[in-house]
Each structure stands twice: as C-alpha cells, then as structure tokens.
Structure 1
Amino acid sequence: MKWTDIIGHKDQVTMLRHMESSRRMPHAVLFAGPKGIGKNLVANVVAAALLCSDQEERPCGRCHSCRQISYGSHPDFLHIAPDGTNIKIEQIRMLQQELSMASFSGQRRVCIIDGAELMTTQAANSLLKVLEDPPGEIVFLLLAANKQMLLTTIISRCMVIAFQPLADELLAQDLMAKGYLPETSEVAARLSGGRMGIALALLEPEGLALRNQALEMIQKLMDSKLEAVWHSAGVLEKMERNDILEFIKYVTYILRDILLLVTGQGKRLLFNIDVAEELCEVADMWSERRLVTAIRAVETARRALLANANTRLTSEALLIRIYDLAREV
C-alpha cells in the first residue's frame, strides 16, 4: 500500500504527503466526499505512512508495520465502521478504553472512523471529548460522505480535506490498466459519477443488473400495454428502498441519454454507451418536451421516496406518467 496506489486526488495527496513528511499531521483530519470516491484508500495509505518504520520512503510497503497494516493486524492501527446503520456509543467507549492503554510500539497510533457522519448523538459527543483531549500521540482520520450530518463541534476540531469525483477519462484509463475492457471501463466510469469504488462495483458480474432492469422497463412501457405498468410496479415494490432509489437513478440516466439523442447530440456524451443502439430505437418514439417532463416526474418520485412515501403508489404514479408520455402525440 503506497502513495502511487491512489488514482487522482493530486492536490489532496500532495498536502497529506507534505504534512506527513514534515511531521505536521494534525491530530484529527476529516476526509469529506461522496461514497466510493477513494477516501478509504487514501486514509489507509496515510495510516501506513504514519506507522511505517522506514526512514526514507513512507509507506515503504515492505517493513513489518506496512505488512501488518495490509493484513489488518497492526496493533496501533484502529478502525471503526458502522455497526448496522450507525456507529454506536459502545464502539467509541471501546475506543476510549483502547486509547487509555499505552501503544504497542510506544509511538503514535492511527484511528480511522469510516462513516463518521453515522455516529449516534451519544457516540459523537463521546468522540468529541477524545478529540478535545487526545490521549497520547494519535491521529484520527474521519471519513464522511455527508459532512453536514456531523456535529459542528467535531468539524471545528478537524482539518477538513474535500475529495471530488475523478474525471471520466482518468477513471476509465485506470480501470483499463486493471485489466477491464475499454467499453465496459468507459461505461462504469461514466455511470459511477467519477467514483472508483462505485465503478468497480459496476464491473462485478451483476453490477449493471439494476441499470439493465431500468432499460428493460422503459422498453416495455414503450412497447406493451398498460399491464406492463402493474408488472413493473410489483417488481419495484419487492425491492429494498435503496435499490429502488438506485433503479430510479438509472431511469434518469437512460432518459437523459435518450434526450441527448433526440436533440441531435449523438452518442459521444451518452452514459450508457454500451446500449446505444437500444436507446436509438427508443429515441424515435420521444420528443424533447416529453422527455424533459418525464425526467421531472422521475425526480419528483425520487424526492417522494426519500421522504418515505409509499413505494407502490409512488412507483405506479411514475410508471403511468412515463407510459402516458411515451404515447402522447
């Protein structure tokens, strides 16, 4: 695990490397950015650098400390992640107990708190006390996909480093370097929103299953009778809410791609370039006005689901709206 393993995020890496090499790493750093963007990898490399025993190249990837971190067995490297949906007070209390004892190496320790915004109020307040008076030499690396959910008092005690999505071209190139085919790499890069973790998940055998379901649903609504609405609504009703939201995201992407084709933008800017031919066939049945209306309807449904609206009723209303729009003259 070395600095060269990190793709992109050059400014952030430069800053972190300088702070580590000059021994000026703050005792608490908050990595803020969307899920899957690479915060965890960067945090692990920083931890390896801080605990590496090499005097010239840190992390070296060769010393006993670096090997322990790669195996997840370094006694001075602590990691906290949500237990279920939250980080609980018991986890922070166990951390406090651990930190009350001397480090195994007699030097610094590093603690990564992944999903820091998911701490319960009690857990966050307990961590705040540790940040205000850290025991011994320790560096906390907090990772948060939604910084706004954290206590402002915790944010104020951290150095905040923001992480932005990678450029599609950079992400696709790295995926190809990992051995993935050019077309699938480009599709994953575009659909991931510049997030390496999401792109790799999309390249799994069933990674595009929800996208494919979304395309199939739109095709059926275009070609079938009203029964397709009830069938599709029944399928959506059986999904977990997070999967439905992901499904709806792909519906938006597909409609957006069809809109590009309808307005004469061609295939160059499509997200779903691997199914461009299927999208071209569907595009002949749409107009720009109806597509814009359909995309707005999808966004309305997404917001309703986020507000905990009834899944079946919301899905049916959206599907009927798309079905009707597809048939307007």
Structure 2
Amino acid sequence: MAKWSNLTERQPIATKMLKQMLLRNRVAHAYLIQGDEGTGKKEIGYLIAKSLFCQQVRDGEPCDQCIECNRIESGNHPDVHWIQPDGASIKIDQIAQLQKEFTYKGMESNQKVYLIYHADLMTANAANRLLKFLEEPSQKTTAILMTENSQAILDTIKSRCQTIMLKPLSPTYVQSILEEEGISPENARLFSVIMPNLQQARELDQDEWFAQARSLVVQLIGTLQSNPDETLLFIQKQWIDHFSDRDKLNFSLDLLIYWFKDLVYLNLDQDDQVVFQSYLKELEQARWHWSQADIVETLALILEAKKQLMQNGHPTLVMEKLVLQMQR
C-alpha cells in the first residue's frame, strides 16, 4: 500500500504540497495530476482519497488499516469512484453514470471522490459532459484527474483544476525498477538513461529496431577506427537505411553522444557512469584510438550535426559530413 512517506523520494515537491493541503483542510475541488508512467499518479490518487475518508489519519498519513482505507484500496468504497478507459477511450456514458451516482446522497458521509485515470483519453462528448460537472461542484466533492498528456485535455477543464506536475523519474530509479523486473544490469543502465520514462524503457528490452541501432553505433565506431575509407559506404548502405527519418537519425546522434561521453567517464575512472556497459571491451579499444581532445571535438561535431538536422539539413548529407569530420 502506498504511503506519502514512500512517495517523498520520488515526488518531494508534490508530496509536501498535497500533505500540507490535507493537514490544513484546504483540499481543492479538482486536481489534474500530470506525469509519466511510474511517477506516482495512481498512488497519489489513492492517498488523497484515503486521507479524506480515513478516521485515523496521523500527521497527514492515512492508517491503511481501517475499513475506509481497505475499501478504497480494494476499489469497493461506495463514495470513491474510479473511471478508466473503456477500450480505447473514456466514453460519455461513463461520465453520465458518474454524474448520476453523485446525485445520490453519500452512503456514509457527504464526502465524495472520483478519480479519472488517463483523463486525456476522454472522447470530446465525455470531456464536455465532465466540464459541466466541474462547473457545478458540490461542496464536498473532489475530482482527481490523472494524465500523461495534459495537452490533450480541454483548456476549460484544466482551468478548473489545480495542476500537480510530477517530476520525471530519475535514471537511477528507472534502472532499479528494470533490474527488479529481470532486465540485466547492463541493459537496465542503458535503457534508463536513454528513456527515463519507465514504460518506454521497458519496451526497449523487446525492441529489435533499438537492438540493431545499438549494434550499428558500435559498428560505425569500429569502422572509423579500423577501416575509415569504408565509413561513407557504411553510412549510405546501412546507417541511413536503419535511421530512415529525421527523428530516428537524431536518436542515432544521441546514441553517439552517449558513446563518446562513456569514453570521457573511462578516462576519468568513473566506470560506474558508463552507459554502454555491455560494450566495455569495445569502449576500451576506442579509448586508445581517440585522445581526450579528439573526444571533446567529436562531441562538439555531433552536437553541431544535431543542430543542422533541426534546421532542416538534409539527413544523409548531415551524417556524411559528420563522419568525414570524425575521420580527421
């Protein structure tokens, strides 16, 4: 069961603010909680509901033992209602049923809470129906909307909510979760740095395109070191084919940046900071090929290539220019 104290490390600002509101009995009519997957949206929703109903709250922390807390945790509290997408969206019928429920007097008190998970997936009709609901709040009703994409929510709904922005998960936290789920420490380290979003990091473990992308980075470095005259052919025949659009090519440049930053970490004896942990042998070989000055210059060249790409430079020409500069 979630506790405010458990969320403090992950979300110190949001946790402190919400606990103070609860302790001072200044709970807003509606909250919009924005954050990536794994940042604590659902846990916060549960904790707000428990804190409002628990009869044994101590220092803002619900007891997690009383009947109120247990019923909220199990989803069986008569005055706490969860709404989640029905298939691909939250439909108008779900909001209409919620409104109907709230016309009845509370089963055990006048306090009522409704929580909408993936609020950005409401249909237009459902969102407009919810807006009318928010415009006419009852005194002891609290709405908690949760989303990973607040841009998809009507501005008129957002204006009626107090927004709680959750900070992204730290790479260290993501890495620890991935390792607990059985992903190797080497891959967990790489995925957590490249994709601090927990779900996207998980998906990299099953992504064949990413596995090939990582392999191509290592192959490019090897070609630059041992067969530089073949580098342009490698770019034309393999690199551009795999990184086939502007976004993918930009991602490939990010991977190259991580590789050369790893060389910096090795030179500083900070092996624990290395991202490409699975390629320590190849990194050691590269370390002897590229001087510290080379590494710094190469990082600057890659950043310049990213800038040119953002300014609509031709992807193939940008990449060819980069590798020619890296050969010098």
TM value normalised by structure 2: 0.70
For residue 45 of structure 1, give the secondary structure of its aligned residue in structure 2: helix
Name which of 111, 131, 144 aligns with 1:128: 131
Name which of 299, 303, 311 aligns with 1:292: 303
**Unpaired stretches in structure 2, ≥5 consecutive residues:** 224-232
Indicate the residue corresponding to 1:12 in structure 2.
Answer: 14
Alignment partners' CA distance in 2, 1:4 and 1:210: 40
Alignment partners' CA distance in 2, 1:248 and 1:28: 42
Indicate the residue corresponding to 2:242 in structure 1.
Answer: 232
For residue 104 of structure 1, give the secondary structure of its aligned residue in structure 2: coil
**Coordinate RMSD, CA, aligned:** 4.2
Structure 2 residue identity aligned to 1:213 = Q
Alignment partners' CA distance in 2, 1:183 and 1:280: 16
Structure with greater Cα Rg: 2
CA displacement 1:14-34 (0-9 Å, x = unmatched): 221222233321110122234
Alignment partners' CA distance in 1, 2:172 and 2:183: 14
Q: 1:210 to 1:49 in 2, by over 3 A?
A: farther
Q: 1:157 deviation in Å?
A: 1.4
Alignment partners' CA distance in 1, 2:285 and 2:49: 51
Q: 1:79 to 1:214 in 2, by over 3 A?
A: farther
**Unpaired stretches in structure 1, ≥5 consecutive residues:** 238-243, 302-316
The correspondence of residues 1-329 of structure 1 with structure 2, limited to 5 A, is 1=1, 2-6=3-7, 7-56=9-58, 58-135=61-138, 137-169=140-172, 186-187=189-190, 189-193=192-196, 195=197, 197-198=198-199, 202=201, 206=205, 211-220=210-219, 225=234, 227-228=237-238, 232=242, 251-261=252-262, 266=267, 268=270, 272-277=275-280, 278=282, 287-288=298-299, 290-292=301-303, 294-296=305-307, 322=319, 325-326=322-323, 329=327
Q: 1:101 deviation in Å?
A: 2.7
Aligned length: 302
Alignment partners' CA distance in 2, 1:187 and 1:220: 18
Alignment partners' CA distance in 2, 1:35 and 1:205: 15
Structure 2 residue identity aligned to 1:144 = T
Alignment partners' CA distance in 1, 2:175 and 2:238: 36
Alignment partners' CA distance in 1, 2:191 and 2:217: 21
Q: 1:152 to 1:98 in 2, by over 3 A?
A: same
CA displacement 1:14-63 (0-9 Å, x = unmatched): 22122223332111012223444222222222223223243547422222
Indicate the residue corresponding to 2:229 in structure 1.
Answer: none
Q: 1:187 to 1:103 in 2, by over 3 A?
A: farther
> Identical aligned pairs, as a percentage?
26
Indicate the residue corresponding to 1:310 in structure 2.
Answer: none
Q: 1:128 deviation in Å?
A: 1.3
Structure 1 residue identity aligned to 2:118 = G
TM value normalised by structure 1: 0.70
For residue 79 of structure 1, give the secondary structure of its aligned residue in structure 2: strand
